[in-house]
């Protein structure tokens, strides 16, 4: 079904460490600064993720930034404050998050374009109630290595201590993620309808 | 005839639905696809690998703006990585038969400046571009929004997009803009009111007497910043001002076709009694020129105001965000905005680089001198704007006052080329984003109108432009 150069990896169940980024309104300029947008490739952006927060101007890592702390190595889930991904439409933001190894971003809300870009790249933008996100952020900050299991088939998120929460997600987007479908492949099935629209 | 009254947004959206199926996003047709060098190479690569053609090259327009140098156009672009991107667009445009307004072309410019300038942007259209400020084109009564690169590829291949229909929101203005106030002040104030996520999931329609009184340039400034309120798009119903702007433009209909188009466009406005999903009222009484103090466009105060104190904020998240912003911006709570000294001034970007913006700035700059502590830059939004400004002698006004006068491009709006501010430098900017690092790592951006930027250049600090006149 996948017809583009980038096969979308199906997402059914993600079990992984949570990296907490307790900030609201994280914009895509912070997720990936403009100096990394000049490339013509689609891969290899993980090294630039949160560059200006993660590294000093001389390139050395800032010890106080979450992704530089050993307890969060290999995290597959990013948790953050509300309105995550606002600002620029750059899909490089989603590419860098995916390339770094995240499959799920948890936040109280997401900016529209960023959310759409996540779906195009097999990332689940999981919106949970603000107090639940605060709880996840608090746990992950207090206990590095705190892990969650996100089950997209059952639409639940749970931790090992017995906390468990159901979530809602648009059913179409859920199916696309589960099966790794991409929009172009779907739309091309309606070729004749598009032609009819164009000639009406 | 007795159809349910509908909004401008609903009318345009419904006219573009190719396919609607329960439980799926709508498949909508895209009338105009604007392309630039930064967000398109991976989309073309995907298309080329799959062996697909661009479905409607004549509905696709390309230009180079984000990366291009604004100094000498005769020299090769110094940055080899940027060069590859520009060359990729040249190759892709040639291969797929897409018109490209390249460097050196008299129509080159910022993608959101040239679309309207060419008359390619028209009422009732659906318009997309791999750039969030595509919302600018909504000023003509089009549904226009930014998309990611995967969706760029989708539109190239199918001329359609799969998209959930957004909700509608009316932004209803009470009162008019007083003397010395501009569209920029109106929209900054609005974002301050509704917040940077206030429009999320919605298409805004800006309405009221103040909007009707705006020129197309002013309306574009307003719609441009819809995305800074988190909105999917912003729209303004087309009227005589819109039609007069479009008359005679190269890609607008001409002759009888123009009159027919105007008749059609005239039916697009929101019907009396139509319902919006949400309504906000914004009162313009007592509005002052606006200046941002923080690291998002909603952190804004009147020029007579002071840097706010995070301690006054009830919400702990807001307080933490404000504290971070102040520390990044190097500002103390309670500082009068007019005491803040500047190092740089940038007049440009798709928000405020059209001829009217430059006229407003020049009116303030005329006869003055840029403060010795300030480095000031004027970057016209397009090569055509530059030519028009030079024909009016605006370049002389700026140069005589000590501003640099540049070639068109995005320039210091995002600093992908050499036009950046240094760490800790403070810049009054007519652009749309004051995010951390936007104008250079560690650079501190304050968003203002063109007139306010020009006044700040001369006095070296924020100054109420109304006291300058
Ligand atoms: S001027 Fe700035 S906001 Fe506008 S398109 Fe260019 S980079 Fe984007």
Distance B413 CA to ligand 1 centre (A): 6
Tell me: ipTM over 0.85.
yes
In whole angstroms, what is the distance from residue A100 CA to residue A115 CA? 17
pLDDT at A1: 35
Ligand 1 centroid–CA B414 distance in Å is: 7
CA torsion angle for B337, B339, B343, B345 (degrees, to 10)?
A: 40
Q: Does the beta-carbon distance from A25 to B441 stay under 8 Å?
A: no
Cβ atoms of B417 and B67 closer than 8 Å: yes
Helix count (H) and strand count (E) of chain B? 15, 19
Q: Which residues of B touch A186 (CB under 8 A)?
A: 162
Min Cα distance A83 → chain B (Å) is: 6
Is the CB of B389 inside a 6 Å radius of any atom of ligand 1?
no
| Residue numbers of A between 73 and 92 with CB closer than 8 Å to B | 81-83, 86-91
Name the minimum distance, in Å, from the CA of B378 to any CA of chain A. Answer: 21
Residue A70 CA to ligand 1 center (angstroms) comes to 37
Shortest distance, CA B369 to any CA of chain A (angstroms)? 33
Any idea what the Cα angle at residue B225 is, between residues B219 and B227, rounded to 5°? 130
Chain B residue closest in CA terms to A37: B38
Whether residue A40 and residue B41 make contact (CB cut-off 8 A), yes or no, is: yes
Q: What b/e sequence results for A147-169 when a residue is b if at least 16 CB atoms lie within 10 Å of its CB, and e otherwise?
A: bbbbbbeeeebbbeeeeeeebee
Across the interface, of A4, A37, A88, the residue whose CB is closest to B153 is: A4
DSSP state of B204: E
pLDDT of residue B75: 54
Cα B28 → chain centroid: 24
Ligand 1 within 6 A of CB of B128: no
Whole-number Å distance between alpha carbons of A31 and A84: 10
Distances (CA, A) of B399 to B138, B365, B372, B390: 34, 10, 14, 11
CA dihedral B135, B136, B140, B144 (to 10 degrees): -20
Alpha helices in B110-215 (DSSP H): 111-118, 149-158, 183-194, 209-212
- Show the CA angle centred on residue B76, arms to residues B71 and B77, nearest 5°: 65
Q: What is the pLDDT of residues B299-358, one digit of tens each?
A: 999 999 999 999 999 888 889 999 999 999 999 999 999 999 999 999 999 999 999 999
Task: Please tell me the distance in Å from B469's CA to the nearest CA on chain A.
Answer: 35
Report the DSSP beta bridge partners of residue A107.
A127
- pLDDT recorded at residue B348: 97
Mutate to test the pocket of ligand 1, among B39, B109, B112, B224 (most ligand atoms within 8 A of CB): B112
Provide the whole-model pTM.
0.96
Q: Determine if ligand 1 sits within 6 Å of the CB of residue B137.
A: no
Of the partner residues B158, B164, B230, the one whose CB lies closest to the CB of residue A187: B158
Closest-CA residue to B151 (of B174, B137, B138, B134): B134
Contact list in B for residue A122 (CB cut-off 8 A) is none
pLDDT at A2 exceeding the cut of 70: no
CB < 8 Å to B84, chain A: 38, 40
A37 interface with B at CB cutoff 8 Å? yes
- Ligand 1: does its nearest atom lie under 6 Å from the Cβ of B350? yes
Give the burial string for B121-136 (b: 16+ CB within 10 Å, else e).
Answer: bbbbbbbbbbbbbbbb
CA distance B447 to B429: 5
Instruction: Name the residue of B431, B433, B447 whose CB sits within 8 Å of the most ligand 1 atoms, as the mutation to test its pocket.
Output: B431
CA–CA gap between residue B112 and residue B199 (Å, rounded): 21
Which single residue is written with the structure tokens 């087309």?
A: B238
CA A26/CA A105 separation, integer angstroms? 12
In this structure, which residue's CA is closest to atom 4 in ligand 1? B350
Measure B349 CA to ligand 1 centroid, in angstroms: 6
pLDDT value at position A6?
A: 63
pLDDT of residue B73: 61
With a 6 A CB cut-off, is B66 part of the ligand 1 pocket?
yes
Ligand 1 atom nearest B349 alpha carbon:
1
Residue A98 confidence (pLDDT) above 90? yes
Q: Please tell me the distance in Å from A116's CA to the nearest CA on chain B.
A: 8
Q: Is B414 in the pocket of ligand 1 (CB under 6 A)?
A: yes
B110 lines ligand 1 (CB under 6 A): yes
Ranges in chain B, pLDDT < 70: 1-2, 72-78, 469
Q: DSSP string of B317-370?
A: HHHHHHHHHHHHHT--TT-BGGG-B-SEEEE-TTTS-SHHHHHHHHHHHTT---
A23, A29, A112 member nearest B438 (Cβ): A29
Strands (E), B152-256: 160-163, 167-174, 202-207, 233-235
Select the residue of A52, A86, A89 nearest B230 (Cβ to Cβ).
A86
- Tell me which residue has its CA closest to atom 6 in ligand 1: B410
Interface residue A190 vs chain B (CB under 8 A): yes
Using the structure block, give the residue that is written with the tokens 């109106």: B186
From residue B427, alpha-carbon distances to B375, B418, B435 in Å are 9, 16, 12
Position of tokens 């936007």? B438
Task: Report d(CA B354, CA B386) in Å as an integer.
Answer: 9
- The whole-angstrom distance between A92's CA and the closest CA on chain B is 9
All residues at 6 or more sequence positions from A45 whose CB lies less than 8 Å from its CB, including other chains: A32, A36, A92, A95, A96, A99
Return the HEC string of B66-128.
CCCCCCCCCCCCCCHHHHHHHHHHHHHHHHHCCEEECCCCCCCECHHHHHHHHCCCCCCCEEE
């Amino acid at each position: 079904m996948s017809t583009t150069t980038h096969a979308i990896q199906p997402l059914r169940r993600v079990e992984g460490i949570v990296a907490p980024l307790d900030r609201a309104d994280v914009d895509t300029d912070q997720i990936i600064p403009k100096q990394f947008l000049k490339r013509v490739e689609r891969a290899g952006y993980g090294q630039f993720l949160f560059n200006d927060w993660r590294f000093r101007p001389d390139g050395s890592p800032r010890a106080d930034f979450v992704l530089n702390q050993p307890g969060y190595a290999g995290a597959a889930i990013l948790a953050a404050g509300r309105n995550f991904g606002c600002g620029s439409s750059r899909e490089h933001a989603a590419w860098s998050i995916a390339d770094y190894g995240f499959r799920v971003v948890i936040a109280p809300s997401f900016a529209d374009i960023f959310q759409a870009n996540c779906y195009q790249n097999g990332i689940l933008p999981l919106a949970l109630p603000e107090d639940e996100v605060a709880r996840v952020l608090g746990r992950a900050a207090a206990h590095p290595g705190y892990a969650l299991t996100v089950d997209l088939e059952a639409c639940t998120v749970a931790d090992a201590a017995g906390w468990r929460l159901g979530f809602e997600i648009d059913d179409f987007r859920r199916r696309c993620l589960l099966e790794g479908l991409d929009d172009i492949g779907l739309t091309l099935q309606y070729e004749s309808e598009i032609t009819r629209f164009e000639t009406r | 005839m007795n159809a349910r009254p509908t909004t401008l947004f609903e009318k345009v959206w419904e006219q573009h639905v190719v396919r609607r199926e329960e439980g799926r996003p709508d498949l909508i047709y895209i009338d105009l696809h604007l392309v630039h060098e930064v967000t398109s190479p991976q989309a073309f690569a995907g298309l080329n690998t799959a062996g697909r053609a661009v479905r409607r090259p004549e509905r696709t327009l390309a230009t180079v703006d984000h990366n291009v140098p604004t100094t000498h156009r005769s020299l090769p672009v110094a940055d080899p990585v940027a060069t590859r991107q520009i060359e990729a667009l040249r190759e892709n445009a040639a291969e797929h038969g897409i018109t490209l307004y390249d460097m050196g072309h008299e129509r080159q410019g910022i993608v959101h400046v040239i679309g309207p300038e060419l008359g390619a942007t028209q009422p009732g259209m659906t318009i997309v571009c791999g750039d969030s400020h595509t919302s600018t084109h909504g000023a003509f009564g089009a549904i226009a929004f930014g998309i990611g690169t995967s969706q760029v590829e989708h539109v190239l291949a199918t001329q359609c997009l799969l998209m959930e229909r957004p909700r509608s929101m009316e932004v209803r203005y009470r009162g008019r803009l007083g003397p010395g106030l501009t569209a920029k002040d109106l929209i900054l104030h609005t974002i301050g009111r509704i917040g940077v996520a206030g429009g999320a999931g919605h298409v805004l329609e800006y309405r009221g007497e103040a909007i009707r009184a705006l020129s197309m340039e002013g309306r574009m400034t307003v719609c441009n910043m819809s995305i800074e309120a988190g909105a999917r798009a912003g729209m303004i119903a087309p009227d005589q001002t819109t039609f007069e702007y479009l008359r005679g433009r190269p890609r607008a209909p001409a002759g009888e076709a123009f009159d027919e188009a105007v008749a059609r466009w005239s039916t697009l406005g929101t019907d009396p009694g139509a319902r919006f999903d949400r309504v906000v009222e914004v009162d313009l009484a007592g509005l002052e020129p606006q200046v941002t103090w923080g690291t998002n466009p909603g952190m804004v105060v009147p020029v007579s105001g002071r840097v706010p104190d995070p301690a006054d904020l009830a919400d702990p998240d807001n307080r933490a965000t404000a504290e971070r912003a102040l520390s990044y911006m190097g500002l103390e709570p309670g500082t009068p905005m007019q005491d803040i000294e500047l190092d740089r001034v940038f007049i440009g970007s798709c928000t405020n680089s059209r001829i009217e913006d430059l006229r407003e700035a020049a009116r303030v700059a005329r006869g003055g001198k840029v403060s010795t502590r300030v480095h000031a830059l004027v970057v016209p939004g397009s090569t055509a704007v530059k030519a028009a400004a030079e024909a009016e002698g605006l370049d002389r006004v700026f140069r005589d006052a000590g501003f640099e006068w540049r070639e068109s491009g995005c320039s210091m709006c995002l600093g992908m080329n050499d036009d950046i501010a240094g760490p800790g430098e403070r810049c009054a900017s007519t652009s749309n984003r004051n995010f951390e690092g936007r104008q250079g790592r560690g650079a501190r951006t304050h968003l203002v109108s063109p007139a306010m930027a020009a006044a700040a250049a001369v006095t070296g600090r924020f100054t109420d432009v109304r006291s300058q006149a």
